[in-house]
């Protein structure tokens, strides 16, 4: 069986590694992939905004299943297009992808189906937004409405911070902005909860906690993610039941009511307050770097899970997991998440000893004449499974130190709440 994976990050490399274990796969294509996926698949450079070009390649190469990793193609309707052309594809359709594509869409869904979330207001211009922030209580959260690669969220402690956030959003820092959201600040502990569904059956796909802030101690600017650990320390059966009943099931029902049958991964970013879950936001794909943290724990054939979602037979699959703890630490280019240099040589990668239960997933990398170069802000994802989080993190830090890449930096405290507290 031939499989194609859309995406170029650490998430897609992790999916590629997991799929490669399936005995039913003869070939994997990555669109466009990275230096890591080259060892497992054929990287194909296409204009992914040109769906016709992708369709032609898929049909001419007889690819049996397409897997969509990142959010933008999903929001742009790539699943709808491929299905209309009788191409099997794993991922939610365009309407369902609005859960991530528009925070306002999600908030209105929460309001209609009584899904617990922060109180909010929708604002269409700078003037009204600035009038509101003069009289509100702080801290507040200000969000860009559309896709922002995990960076379009501001936590504002004072009015001046809020004014800067409003100006940057309406000035187009995260793309054209017709609206923004201002929310109450929820104080609790965050958790990432993942499910996979075929539209009929919902199955848990593990939990994780990511670290968004660039500096240790969860300080500094928001990023796409500096690391993660799995499972979350907060999860228990009672909480999981509340998440499913109060958040996930009403969401799936709400989408069905507007004619959209959700199929794919669904990632709920939650705030847990005194044992109660509140929805912060949805992502319509696996998180990055949570995916890299979770997939190495998967014991079930990932291909069979994907195919079951496509054929709405997920109820026939029993998803099994290793009991190990897992940590992922992201090695970034200096300067990230602001300006950083590209095309920086990464030496010594072949000298790192990667033992069983350790992984080095590539993210922003390219391979030129057998040399690996950093081409993105988040460059490599080091993952380790172990009996305990402390042991996993120690092994990862040793691996990063042995790489000795002078142009990189990373957070040494990933998982501090389950290790150091």
State which of 91, 108, 133 marks the end of a domain.
91
pLDDT of residue 150: 60
Cα→Cα distances 229→158, 226, 290, 328, Å: 32, 11, 7, 6
**Contact present, 196 and 260 (Cβ < 8 Å):** no
114-133, pLDDT tens digit by residue? 999 999 999 988 989 998 88
- Mean pLDDT along residues 192-209: 96
How far, rounded to the nearest angstrom, does the alpha carbon of residue 266 sit from its chain's CA centroid?
A: 10
pLDDT of residue 305: 98
Question: Are 57 and 124 members of one domain?
Answer: no
pLDDT of residue 401: 94
SS3 content of the chain, % helix, strand, coil (to 5): 30, 30, 40
pLDDT of residue 311: 96
Q: Any idea what the CATH number is for the domain that residue 10 is in?
A: 3.40.50.20
342-366, pLDDT tens digit by residue? 999 999 898 888 888 999 999 999 9
Query: Which uninterrupted H or E stretch holds 31?
Result: strand 27-32
> What is the reported pTM?
0.93
Question: Are 311 and 196 members of one domain?
Answer: yes
Question: Are 266 and 366 members of one domain?
Answer: no
State which of 137, 158, 184 marks the end of a domain.
184
pLDDT of residue 173: 86
- Closest by Cα among 215, 221, 222, 302 to 269: 222
Task: Tell whether the model's pLDDT for residue 85 goes beyond 90.
Answer: yes
Question: Are 195 and 303 members of one domain?
Answer: yes
Question: Are 193 and 180 members of one domain?
Answer: no
pLDDT of residue 421: 60
Kindly report the length of the chain.
421
- Mean pLDDT along residues 267-293: 96
pLDDT of residue 54: 97
Percent residues over pLDDT 90 in the chain: 86
155-168, pLDDT tens digit by residue? 999 999 999 999 99
Instruction: Specify the DSSP class assigned to residue 343.
Output: S
**Contact present, 358 and 383 (Cβ < 8 Å):** yes
Confidence of residue 194 (pLDDT cuts 50, 70, 90): very high
Q: Any idea what the CATH number is for the domain that residue 136 is in?
A: 3.30.1490.20
Question: Are 198 and 180 members of one domain?
Answer: no
Task: Tell whether the model's pLDDT for residue 151 goes beyond 70.
Answer: no
| CA-CA-CA-CA dihedral for 248, 237, 194, 380, to nearest 10 | 160
Task: Decide if 124 is inside a domain.
Answer: yes
pLDDT of residue 179: 86
Per-residue DSSP letters for 123-162?
E-SHHHHHHHHHHS-SSEEEEESS--TT--EEEESSHHHH
pLDDT of residue 172: 84
Task: Tell whether the model's pLDDT for residue 242 goes beyond 80.
Answer: yes
Q: Any idea what the CATH number is for the domain that residue 310 is in?
A: 3.30.470.20
Per-residue DSSP letters for 248-279?
IHHHHHHHHHTT----EEEEEEEEEETTEEEE
State which of 135, 154, 184 marks the end of a domain.
184
Query: Which uninterrupted H or E stretch holds 7?
Result: strand 2-7
Task: Decide if 362 is inside a domain.
Answer: yes
**Both tokens assigned to 55:** 């369709």
Maximal C-alpha separation, the chain: 62
Question: Are 194 and 278 members of one domain?
Answer: yes
226-235, pLDDT tens digit by residue? 999 999 999 9
- Closest by Cα among 269, 292, 256 to 378: 292
**Both tokens assigned to 234:** 């907060």
Question: Are 331 and 345 members of one domain?
Answer: yes
Task: Decide if 107 is inside a domain.
Answer: no
Residues facing residue 386 across a β-bridge? 325
- Mean pLDDT along residues 81-101: 97
Task: Decide if 103 is inside a domain.
Answer: no
Q: Domain tally for the chain?
A: 4
Confidence of residue 287 (pLDDT cuts 50, 70, 90): very high
Q: Any idea what the CATH number is for the domain that residue 389 is in?
A: 3.90.600.10
Question: Are 212 and 269 members of one domain?
Answer: yes
Task: Decide if 383 is inside a domain.
Answer: yes
Task: Decide if 249 is inside a domain.
Answer: yes
Question: Are 197 and 307 members of one domain?
Answer: yes
51-66, pLDDT tens digit by residue? 999 999 999 999 999 9
Question: Are 244 and 295 members of one domain?
Answer: yes
Confidence of residue 71 (pLDDT cuts 50, 70, 90): very high
**Contact present, 359 and 292 (Cβ < 8 Å):** yes
Task: Tell whether the model's pLDDT for residue 148 goes beyond 70.
Answer: no
| Pairing state between β 325-333 and 408-409 | antiparallel
Question: Are 217 and 295 members of one domain?
Answer: yes
- Cα–Cα dist 7/41, whole Å: 13
| Average predicted confidence (pLDDT) for the chain | 94
- Mean pLDDT along residues 73-87: 97
Domain that holds residue 168: 119-184
């Amino acid at each position: 069986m031939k499989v194609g994976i859309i995406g170029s990050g650490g998430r897609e490399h992790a999916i590629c590694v997991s799929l490669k274990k399936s005995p039913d796969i003869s070939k994997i294509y990555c669109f466009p992939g990275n230096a890591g996926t080259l060892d497992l698949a054929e990287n194909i450079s296409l204009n992914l905004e040109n769906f016709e070009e992708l369709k032609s390649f898929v049909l001419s190469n007889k690819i049996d299943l397409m897997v969509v990793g990142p959010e933008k193609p999903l929001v742009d309707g790539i699943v709808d297009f491929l299905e209309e052309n009788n191409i099997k594809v794993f991922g939610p359709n365009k309407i369902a992808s609005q859960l991530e594509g528009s925070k306002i869409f999600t908030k209105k869904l929460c309001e209609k189906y009584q899904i617990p979330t922060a109180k909010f207001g929708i604002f269409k211009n700078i003037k009204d937004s600035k009038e509101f922030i003069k009289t509100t209580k702080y801290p507040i959260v200000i969000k860009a409405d559309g896709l922002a690669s995990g960076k379009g969220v501001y936590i504002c402690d004072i009015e001046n911070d809020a004014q800067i956030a409003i100006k940057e959003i309406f000035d187009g820092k995260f793309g054209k902005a017709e609206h923004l959201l201002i929310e109450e600040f929820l104080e609790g502990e965050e958790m990432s909860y993942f499910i996979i569904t075929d539209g009929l059956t919902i199955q848990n796909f593990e939990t994780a906690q990511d670290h968004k802030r660039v500096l240790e101690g969860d300080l500094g600017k928001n990023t796409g993610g500096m690391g993660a650990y799995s499972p979350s320390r907060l999860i228990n059966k009672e909480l999981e039941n509340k998440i499913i009943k109060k958040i996930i099931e009403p969401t799936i029902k709400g989408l069905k009511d507007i004619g959209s049958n959700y199929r794919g991964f669904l990632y709920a970013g939650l705030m847990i307050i005194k044992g109660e879950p509140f929805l912060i936001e949805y992502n319509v794909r696996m998180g990055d770097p949570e995916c890299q943290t979770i997939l190495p724990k998967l014991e079930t054939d990932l291909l069979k899970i994907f195919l079951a979602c496509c054929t709405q037979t997920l109820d026939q699959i029993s998803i099994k997991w290793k009991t190990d703890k897992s940590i992922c630490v992201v090695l970034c280019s200096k300067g990230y998440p602001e300006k950083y240099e590209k095309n920086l040589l990464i030496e010594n990668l072949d000298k790192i000893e990667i033992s069983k239960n350790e992984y080095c997933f590539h993210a922003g990398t390219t391979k030129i004449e057998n040399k690996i170069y950093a081409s993105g802000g988040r460059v490599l994802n080091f993952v380790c499974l172990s009996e305990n989080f402390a042991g996993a993190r120690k092994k990862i830090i040793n691996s990063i130190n042995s790489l000795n890449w002078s142009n990189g930096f990373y957070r040494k405290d990933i998982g501090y709440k389950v290790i150091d507290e």
